[in-house]
Structure 1
Amino acid sequence: MTARINLSHISTIVAAAIAVFCFIGFALAQDKPIRVRGEIVAVDGPMMTVKSRDGKDLKIKLADNVSVAGIVPMNIGDIKPNSYIGVSAMPQPDGSQRALHVHIFPEAMRGVAEGFGPWDVRPQSTMTNATVAETVAGVDGQTITVKYKDGEKKIIVPKEAPIVTYVPGSMADLKPGAKIFIVAAIPQADGTFTAARVNVGKDGLTPPM
């Protein structure tokens, strides 16, 4: 089922998602934040324990005004010409990109972190934030041409590639068993981290970013 965004709450997710994809590079070098992908093990007040995808237990203190964005599934048909999307992908020998996932930005976020650069969901993976110029259905999924200010990319979106978007979230979504993605967890002197924004998969979904 296609998820729909309540536009009256768009400001809630804009702040959260802007942090997720103001990246293309582009680390925040001063504080050397890390990206955290994993599963919530426990929540004790503002302190969240996360089992990261590499098996580490991380203690993450949430900001008092933490922004929470939910991640929900969408369909290939929701990617239309003029959609503004982000795609993590693997470079192909012919110069195209094979999508690992696609996220569809809300209209209010058009232009956020526009461009192409390295990503770390897999070794050698990339991220492209761009506007869809053309979509063509194929046997193996969809071929999408996207354009950004410095160029364009041809992206193959296979049928198995997750397609997601953002919905408003809350602290109630941050519970044991939920899968999360934090783009900027800031290391602290005591070995913990702080986070101002958390993206959490709804209904068991693992954020594919």
Structure 2
Amino acid sequence: MTSRLKFTASVLAGGLLALSTGIAAHAADTVRVRGKIESFHGSTLVVKTREGETAKITLKDGWKPSSLAKASVDAIKPGDFVGVTSIPTADGKNGAVEVLIFPAAMKGTGEGSYAWDLQPNSTMTNATVANAVKSVNGHSLTLTYKGGEKVISIADGTPIVTTAPATEADLKPGATVFVPSQKADDGTLSSSRVVAGKNGVEPPM
């Protein structure tokens, strides 16, 4: 592997670790900022959130940007590690809202199933695919994690993404971002990770 490729792989791996940490975190002081960039200067990112508020986020030393790329549900196979946001369906089962396919190096990170705030009653499940089934009604995944198992259906049109690199140049006004942030006692926000929309792929999480 060339030194350039080694550097790129190292940066991306570090970014993925920060991303997965942000996804897995569900402590009371974690705030997941979703919205569009209003401005980005130095270490300060200002986002107009989906709730219509303005969030000012201080980016920590060593912070990294990342993006996402489209993936196919057909690419998901037994043994893959995925993060799936799901909601209860009318038949009492679980339907996917979005699916993030982690690279093999991140397998096991943030493993579990817990409440998520993408939509009302949504749940995030980070788990290994035990079985991937295709039927006439679409796909379903059997996910296994420590202490549990969950079957989630994936309807046609559900966003399926995987991780991809980004640069500070991608943090332009109007770009859609997902920023897992920490809220201090004084209400200020800080983060070490910004997931930005790029090449037409916006963060669905």
TM-score by length of 1: 0.86
Superposed displacement of residue 33, structure 1: 2.9
Tell me which residue corresponds to 2:190: 194
* Aligned mates of 2:154, 2:83 — CA distance in 1: 12
Tell me which residue corresponds to 1:137: 134
* Aligned mates of 2:84, 2:38 — CA distance in 1: 28
Tell me which residue corresponds to 1:3: none
* Aligned mates of 1:200, 1:188 — CA distance in 2: 27
Superposed displacement of residue 187, structure 1: 4.2
Superposed displacement of residue 188, structure 1: 6.8
Superposed displacement of residue 200, structure 1: 1.3
Change (3 A) 1:187 1:51: farther
- Cα deviations by residue, 1:137-172 (Å, 9 ceiling, x for unpaired): 123321111111211111100011100111122212
Does the 8 Å contact 2:15/2:193 carry over to 1? no
Tell me which residue corresponds to 2:199: 203
**Is 1:48 matched up with 2:52?**
no
Q: What does 1:70-149 correspond to in 2, within 5 Å?
A: 70-92=67-89, 94-149=91-146
1:135 maps to amino acid: A
Choose the corresponding residue for 2:65, options 68, 78, 88: 68
Does the 8 Å contact 2:181/2:189 carry over to 1? no
**Is 1:18 matched up with 2:20?**
yes
Superposed displacement of residue 192, structure 1: 4.3
**Is 1:156 matched up with 2:158?**
no
* Aligned mates of 1:188, 1:201 — CA distance in 2: 30
Does the 8 Å contact 2:21/2:110 carry over to 1? no
Pairwise CA RMSD: 1.9
Does the 8 Å contact 2:127/2:145 carry over to 1? yes
* Aligned mates of 1:204, 1:94 — CA distance in 2: 33
1:205 maps to amino acid: V
2:16 maps to amino acid: V
Tell me which residue corresponds to 2:165: 168
Residue aligned with 1:81, SS: coil
Moved more, 126-135 or 139-148: 139-148
* Aligned mates of 1:102, 1:56 — CA distance in 2: 27
Structure 2: tracts of 5 or more residues without a match: none
* Aligned mates of 1:70, 1:12 — CA distance in 2: 13
Choose the corresponding residue for 1:183, options 180, 183, 188: 180
* Aligned mates of 2:35, 2:184 — CA distance in 1: 17
Amino-acid identity (%): 40
Superposed displacement of residue 115, structure 1: 1.1
* Aligned mates of 2:157, 2:198 — CA distance in 1: 19
- Cα deviations by residue, 1:40-73 (Å, 9 ceiling, x for unpaired): 1111222111110001111112123112121111
Change (3 A) 1:204 1:50: farther
TM-score by length of 2: 0.88
Superposed displacement of residue 107, structure 1: 0.7
Q: What does 1:21-40 correspond to in 2, within 5 Å?
A: 21-23=23-25, 26-27=26-27, 29=28, 32-40=29-37
Residue aligned with 2:172, SS: coil
